[in-house]
Amino acid sequence: MRASAILPLLTLLLPISFPAAAAGKEIRNPPRQAKYDDGTVHMELMGKKRAAFANHRGRGDFNPKKWKKVKAPVPCVNGKAGEFRCDNIDLYYFASHADLGSTTGEGSSSWGWTWKGREFIIIAQADGAAFAEVTKDGKLDYLGRLPNTAGSNPEIWREIRVLDNYAIIGSEAENHFIQIFDMRKLLNIKKKDKPKTFDSIKDLTGLFKDLPIGRTHNVVVNNDFKYAVSVGAAPRNSTQKAGLIFIDLTDPTKPFSPGYQAEDGYVHDAQCLKYRGPDKRYKGIDICYGYNEDTLTIYDVTNKANATIISRTGYEGAAYTHQGWVLDPNDQRFLIMDDEYDEYDGVGPAADGYAVTYIWDIQDLENPKQTGIYKSPQYGIDHNQYVKDGISYQSHYGAGFRMLDVSSIPRDPTGKGVKQIGFFDVYPEDDHLPNQGSLDFVGSWSSYALFESGWIVINTIERGAFVVRYNPKKGPKVKRAIGSEYVPVPVRD
């Protein structure tokens, strides 16, 4: 850990929310760096993660008997919900990966699906995907699982998205390919048949195989134009260069690729949307915002056989451009982004090890501006975030789940108005350290907070899945931004 001797003293003076420091400046079309292009940085990062996971394994953290189920609600009182540090977020339920059918006990991504008011969560694990219904009282009713594709090995990097009624599931395991699973199969599972283990081939609607060696780092969907994308499909020296590989799902039983975009090489994650922003040159077209290790790269992907780059922009302090989300898909003036390695490397505004959220003005798609930052009050590494109704829901590894009110950004793009309104720390093992946290790849990999009911599911690497809920009676009443109109968030008690 890189903390200096004075950091423990400084933490005593830290406010609840850091003011936005001097923002890193954007760099238009930065020179390419061999260490990113050849995969050196990515392989180094994955190597450090594998070492962390091996350490967990050696300590018995993936032992199915280590973590006990939490069946009754545990309110956040005086900063604690049981053993977990918290603020304005209550714990309702916890199930270990073993409770959710995994034999490896290793978790990663998550995504949700809603059918006529019923809410379902998909929990990614090294050996498959677990399906559970989130009940009205905030419990997980474990329904069954889809194992990793026959012929592939378990691999913790498993990513999930949902397009209409289909789960799109990819993995870094070779020969896994991308599974297309009809979530409606969950609707009529009888009690006597739970949990049901689906066949990893026969129970699929489709299996997309047009990947260089059958692996993908991530999957993306465009709900506007009804297609999926594989990103980061190794190796980098393939024709597709681990860039955007488009997947036509017009007939999900026969998925095929109409094209790819390899011009900027490896894409780690992306968000693809119909463009509804203010840049009139691109109104209504198909846009992908790519998070490409050292740049924010924006693509026009309207023509899948001839997709093009609109802009490629770096920023000061870039270590590993990881993931981001637009503030409002119906507005698309701003997006926020995380860098997974800046805290670990101690560079840029994250040099002190406190996680940084980067704010981008994307009103001119050809000239994005990095206008500000938000610094977390918690020492640790940020990983994934998704935005709904002016709230960014973030997973910060050992620092757990964080909720930021980002609705002020359209008024003040510096980030000075961004506030943390709640958190739930899923990894108490590092609470005793000088900064009450660590720069390590532990704890929360992902969260899903987009259910209309307000239930939030956090998937963790070691333990399993938590169901939590923001408590508006304890926390601030938040607002959301839709263009210039501000309306109350419909948070339910």
**Token pair recorded at residue 308:** 């093009």
CB contact set of 199 (below 8 Å; sequence gap of 6+): none
d(CA 262, CA 284): 23
Q: What is the pLDDT confidence band of residue 478, given thresholds at 50, 70 and 90?
A: low
Q: What is the pLDDT of residues 348-405, one digit of tens each?
A: 999 999 999 999 999 999 999 999 999 999 999 999 999 999 999 999 999 999 999 9
Could you give the domains of the chain? 15-488 (2.130.10.10)
Angle of CA points 444, 449, 453, to nearest 5°: 140
CB contact set of 461 (below 8 Å; sequence gap of 6+): 53, 56, 106, 107, 108, 156, 441, 442, 443, 444, 445
d(CA 169, CA 273): 20
Q: For 20-29, 205-214, 259-268, 361-370, which range has the lowest pLDDT when averaged over its residues?
A: 20-29
**Token pair recorded at residue 359:** 């704010």
Report phi then psi at 298, rounded to 5. Answer: -105, 130
d(CA 378, CA 399): 7
Q: What is the pLDDT of residues 165-188, one digit of tens each?
A: 999 999 999 999 999 999 999 999
Report phi then psi at 183, rounded to 5. Answer: -65, -20
The total of other beta-carbon atoms located within 10 Å of residue 258's CB is 13
Q: Largest Cα–Cα distance of the chain, in whole Å?
A: 60
Whole-angstrom distance between the N-terminal and C-terminal Cα of the chain?
41
pLDDT on residue 124: 99
With beta carbons less than 8 A apart as the criterion, state whether 400 and 394 touch.
no
Adjacent-strand bridge partners of 414:
none
In the chain, % of residues over pLDDT 90: 89
With beta carbons less than 8 A apart as the criterion, state whether 94 and 123 touch.
no
Closest among 203, 216, 136 to 175, alpha carbons compared: 216
Instruction: Give the pLDDT mean for 35-60.
Output: 95
Residue with tokens 């996971």: 53
d(CA 473, CA 476): 8
Residue with tokens 């995994």: 102
Prediction pTM value: 0.92
Q: What is the pLDDT of residues 398-443, one digit of tens each?
A: 999 999 999 999 999 999 999 999 999 999 999 999 999 999 999 9
Residue 178, burial from CB neighbour count under 10 angstroms (0-12, 13-18, 19+): buried
Residue 137, burial from CB neighbour count under 10 angstroms (0-12, 13-18, 19+): exposed
d(CA 169, CA 86): 31
Residue 4, burial from CB neighbour count under 10 angstroms (0-12, 13-18, 19+): exposed
Closest among 431, 373, 368, 370 to 400, alpha carbons compared: 431
Pairing between strand 196-197 and 206-208?
unpaired
Asked if the model's pLDDT at residue 337 lies above 80, the reply is: yes
Q: What is the pLDDT confidence band of residue 477, given thresholds at 50, 70 and 90?
A: low
